[in-house]
Structure 1
Amino acid sequence: MTRFLKYLGKRVLIMIPQMLGITLVSFLLVRLLPGNPATAMAGSLATPETVAAIEARLGLDQPLYIQFYMYVKNVLAGDLGTSWYTSNPVANDLAVRFPATLELITLSMFFAILVGVVGGSIAAIKPKGLVDRVTSGFATFAGAMPEFWIGLIFIYVFYVRLGIAAAPIGRLDLQFSSPPQVTGMILIDTLLTGNMAMFQSAVSHLILPVLTLSITLVGPILKMSRTSMRNALDSDYIYYARMCGMKQKHIVGYSFRTALPPIVTIIAVYYGFMLGGAVLVEKVFGWGGFGQYAVQSVINKDYFAIQGFLMLAAMFSLIIYLVVDIIYMIVDPRQRP
């Protein structure tokens, strides 16, 4: 246990220079974006004096190293700056947008894992069987279809034609306002506050976007699960276990544990990617999430909002990879310190 805690402490310490490097790179890349945010804020008819005054207020008239120093200093004090587009502190915007996307991608990933890992494992256990053929065809179909197109088809079929789905207008019906924010995730907050009517509304609005993202995520998880499980079942030690008369359920259990690392890896990669990669689904369903906020910020040259997005996304990814390493140590004793 002590060795594990030491390892965990080292990994957390390594994250500090990683975050500093990511902050520096993102800061420089944002400054390379074409256009001047001060001009965008002032408008096309603004005088040069007005633009210069806005640049001075934002600190854009200072050398880059001074700007970076002031930005890091403010971040360490908990100030991510103010978005000129929304006029809100970036930290407040992210506190609303991030949980919305996190709720969406977490539920989507849960169902994708459930279908992908179980379906891929069964397909590997019984190759060329019915499940193998169905999952292979479904994985190919899911990988070929863009998520926004699937979302639009779902809206047309289930909302427009059948009228059984909630309108694609966000996270709640129009008669509801947002519940008191505890976690920012409406499903959890409505349960904590006991508002079951709002909970049902939130569930109805989650069904189609979660189904859309799950379909796009399940393809690569299915393929990786099938391939990894098949390789484990074809390994020499499994052949030896069969010759020794080991029961099939034990063989499947040992094979599944061996197959887990690459499956966990692909799940982690897609989970981190979907934090910003779900932007098209968010746009189709009016979700107002994290990725949509980032695209909006880039379009409007909103420096502080872009940097806040990049920092939070980087931190999220680093935490995911730390959790993956811990899972590796649990399933594979060779990875333990």
Structure 2
Amino acid sequence: MASFPPVTMTTEGLNMIAKASSGNTEDRLIITKVKLGDGVSEGNIRDYTDVISSKKEVSLSEWEDRGDGRFRYTFIYNNEGVKTGFYHREIGLFAKNGDSGTEKLIAYSNAGSYPGYIDDETKEIPYQRLMINIGVGDTDNVSGQVDVSNAVTIEMLNEHDADENAHSNLIKRLFGSASATMESVKTSVQSWCKESIASVFGIAEATTDNVKNKILEYAQEQINSWIETLGIRYNIAQNGYICLGKLFGDAIIQWGTDRLILSSGTDNRYRKTVNLNISISKVYSLLAIDGDNVNSSASLNVWTDNKTVQVHNVDNKSGGPDMFYWFALTK
């Protein structure tokens, strides 16, 4: 464990304390953080404006007004974020005058030949407690004591966990809330979720209807893409077709209406080569129904050579042209 001498106030620190003694709110002294470093101190500490070799910054955990111008500032830290282990020699205390002030080094201590060692973050260490006690009297007679404790005790953790306001400032900052209540956090989380959902779905506002419509739109796009990939197509019309796609052996169901016409041959027969609605490689089955007698197909014959379909009437002497319905199972 490092052994640190009392902190020495810097010239800038003394000036800031003197300014704070005005009593004005905008001049009040606000302790903000400490810097830990491994630099070797040389020269006049009063002239320091920063630690020599900064290795880690630690925010203020809590402070206590002990009365009679004495204040205790506590910093809790471990080795998270430390990429390379270092000898802990330096402690630099930083503060500012007022909320809008600039952070400056106000006090410094160096362990010299009695440093501690802080491992890199791959070797987890217990939480460390650093307390700096500063007594503020006349600005020329400001003193401070440093106490580095090697770990946070169970009692300290239990006390910390039991404190409902232990992380109120952190919660306020994280959730952008003026108070750290359950309701304010819940409201902030709900607002964040709505913003995230709106961003993900590319909608102006995450209302139920907007989200529902976007999901339906997405689902329809996916279904259309799936149908197209499988080769499923259709045209539901008087002369139409349904391509059943890969799941059904690329079968095609086609249908339509047509009319027989008198052939140019010598048999004086009415016939017609059917114009299929979609190109095919093979005909498996064909049905033709007389349009004048939809309950019977006895007066019509069909013929196919696997790629074309012909329909003709059985009775050469029948008149025409006659309308007929046709259905084909093809590929």
Interval containing the TM-score (normalised by the shorter chain):
under 0.3
Superposition TM-score, scaled by structure 2 size: 0.19
Greater Rg by CA? 2
Superposition TM-score, scaled by structure 1 size: 0.19
